[in-house]
Each structure stands twice: as C-alpha cells, then as structure tokens.
Amino acid sequence: MFSAIEVHDSKRDACYKLMIEVIKEMVYSKFKKKFNKKASLNLSIEAIVIVVIAFVVLGLALGFVKGQFEQITDTSSSVQDQIQQQIMDDLRRSNNKLSFPSDELTLELKDEEVQAVGIKNTDDQSKFFAVTFHVKDGIDFADFISGEKMSLATSAADVKIFWDNDYREISAGDTDIIKFSLTAPDKQGTYLYKIVLWEAEDSRGAGVTEYATANFFVKTS
C-alpha cells in the first residue's frame, strides 16, 4: 500500500534534481568564461576554489533538505497513526460498521492526500468486505475506478482515488483499516464523495450486498 512517505519522496527527489542543476549551471558558467579563443580550457585557482565551494554548498543544502523532508515525513506518519487510532477507537466503542474521521477535507487543487477508512464486521460469522468510492456528478454519483482519473460532466474537473479494492476477510466482531490516496479535483469547488462498504460471501464477491455508507465533502482552494 502507499503511505505519506511515498507522497513526499517525489517532492524530495525533484528538489534534489533542481539543486544539482543549479550547481551544474554555476560550474559550467565559470568554466565557459575560462575558455580562450583557441578553445583550450585553463582552470585558474579561483575556478577550482569555486568548484570546491559549490560542492560543499551542495552537500550542506542536500543535508538540510533531507532533514526537512524527514521531519515532514515523521510528522505525517504520526498524524496518520493518530487518525487510524481514532478510527479504531470509534469502531470499538460503537456498533458502527464504517468509520471515516472527517466530514470535510480542504485541499489545494490537484493535491494528493492519504486517508483511511475503518470497517467492522458486526455479524456473528466471518465475511468478506470491500469498499468503493463515488463522487456526486449532477444528480447522480459517478463511480471511481481505482487509480484511474475521471472527468466530471458537470464541472469538467478531473478527480482520482487509488485504493485496494479486493475483498478481504474479517472475522466476526473484528475491524480493519483500508487506506486510500485521494487526488483533489483540479478546479475550485465543493464536491460530495461517498464511500460504500460491501459485504460478500467469498473473496470473489459472491452474494454481495451493500453493508454501510459514509459521505464526506472535498473542498478545493
């Protein structure tokens, strides 16, 4: 499954590449000035010093950026752990079949956020469960396909959710957590999402019936 670490890794790598390109451009510019008309390269002591300083600065900068991203990752992981614990506590204290920790998410355009939904088997025997996600599009709800971008007819906004949509077995009275990655719509607005929990007799979805639902809003800014 995915985690907050995966979300930040791509941003960190992009930052590293940008910094390296800046240093390379500095060094290239200095070397270029040292070319004489005969196209021979004469490195002065000044140029060598600049190269050394540039790599020292690069090392310090990369170390700083790495520390910042590690701190962000640790904070995000801690928040995710707290949210999951909140979901589990809610399911244990109540007879709820489905638990989602928020009625509204406020995200920036195209922002990606990892969330979690909790499910509980309140039956007296083991059953198989899976969730699906839907978003209001006009008067009806449009169905998400895991990992695929979908364009809404009413707003022309692009939306996407990625999750494990396989059926999982849960024993009687037990709970489980399903993580999902939600990519915010690329247009400003408030969107209504729905989570549907399905119950089945086996891992192939035989005898599937709707078990519980939960709604939440996504507000983009």
Taking only the tens place, the pLDDT of each residue in 3-62 is: 444 445 555 566 656 666 665 566 556 555 554 444 444 555 566 666 677 667 676 766
Q: Are residues 55 and 122 in the same domain?
A: no
Q: Are residues 200 and 106 in the same domain?
A: yes
Determine the average pLDDT of the residues in 196-218: 95
- CB-based contacts of 75, cutoff 8 Å, min separation 6: none
Regarding whether 53 and 114 lie in a shared domain, the answer is no
Question: Do 131 and 186 share a domain, yes or no?
Answer: yes
Q: What's the CA gap between 3 and 12, in Å, rounded?
A: 15
Domain end call among 54, 72, 89: 89
Pair 11, 53 in one domain: yes
Evaluate if residue 214 carries a pLDDT over 60.
Answer: yes
Task: Quote the CA–CA distance of 73 and 4 in Å, as a whole number.
Answer: 7
Asked if residue 179 lies in contact with residue 118, where contact means CB atoms within 8 angstroms, the answer is no
27 is in which domain, residue-wise?
A: 4-89
Identify whether residues 165 and 140 lie together within a single domain. Answer: yes
Q: Does residue 72 share a domain with residue 145?
A: no
Q: Are residues 212 and 110 in the same domain?
A: yes
The pTM is what? 0.66
Domain final residue, candidates 89, 120, 140: 89
Mean pLDDT, rounded, for 132-160: 95
Whether residues 137 and 214 fall in one domain: yes
Q: Are 151 and 180 a contacting pair, CB within 8 Å?
A: no
Tens digit of each residue's pLDDT (9 = 90 or more) over 94-120? 889 999 988 999 999 999 999 999 999
- Phi and psi based region of residue 11 (left: phi greater than 0; alpha: psi -120 to 50; beta: remaining): alpha
Q: Please tell me the total count of domains within the chain.
A: 2
Residue where a domain terminates, one of 89, 114, 132: 89
Mean pLDDT of the residues in the chain: 80
